[in-house]
Amino acid sequence: MKAVRLQLALRTLLNPAAPQWQKVPEEVIPLVGTPLHLQPTRYIRTAWADRLIGAVRAVRVKVAFSSTHIFFRLQWQDPNHNVDYGDGTTFPDAAAILFPINGDAPLLTMGSPDSPVNAWFWRANLRAPQNLVAHGLGSVEKAEGPPLWAQATWTDNEWHLVLARALGEGNFSAVALMPGREVKVAFAIWEGGNQERGGLKAFSQQWRILQVGQGRGQL
């Protein structure tokens, strides 16, 4: 997976419908549901024993960067436009971009005590995306980090989402993202109409290598 340079303003590339996104190569990433045995409580494991976890089976991803920011454009099919908790039988749709902070974090368990995972988390009912850190199953928490930006639209039974962050060095709770470097990345989607939340989600099973190009040249 490669990020390509588009020297445009933050507000321009945050728009999922910006025509400049047509210049960026797209990768279709298959998703699977999280394993039932890894769900945190016996109640969830019992209630979901005969149900589908991970209703969304693929996400289309494009990645671009400018001199100051990196942008991820996600697109996935979703016939249900869930933006709040409704009557309690549905949950807001959500998505996350996942990074291992030190490069060795186990993806399936959302990291470990020594190898955490950084997540950029967007949910349809949140005013702004959240920077999260996980050190294993059930350990996700908000963390300090560079500001995140997001803009999303739902049209023709599809979500179109752009998540962005400033380029820069990382720390204990935020991944380093710099031109000329590689970083591992994964993706997760929650289909609120399928009552997915927390550990009930679809995710890409393996880390993918994202190459962030050098600063020279642009599309």
At 217 the pLDDT is 46
H or E stretch including 83? none
The pTM score is: 0.94
pLDDT tens, position by position, 93-123: 999 999 999 878 999 999 999 999 999 999 9
Identify the residue whose tokens are 């340079």: 5
Q: Under a CB-based contact definition with an 8 Å cutoff, are residues 145 and 173 in contact?
A: yes
Burial of 164 (0-12, 13-18, 19+ CB in 10 A): buried
Cα separation of 161 and 204, whole Å?
Answer: 17
pLDDT tens, position by position, 134-177: 999 989 999 988 999 999 999 999 999 999 999 998 888 899 99
Q: Under a CB-based contact definition with an 8 Å cutoff, are residues 206 and 186 in contact?
A: yes
Task: Give the CATH number of domain 2-212; options: 2.60.40.1190, 1.10.286.10, 3.40.50.150, 3.40.50.620.
Answer: 2.60.40.1190
At 215 the pLDDT is 55
Contacts of 31 (CB under 8 A, 6+ apart): 54, 56, 57, 58, 59, 187, 188, 189, 202, 203, 204
Q: What is the pLDDT confidence band of residue 71, given thresholds at 50, 70 and 90? A: very high
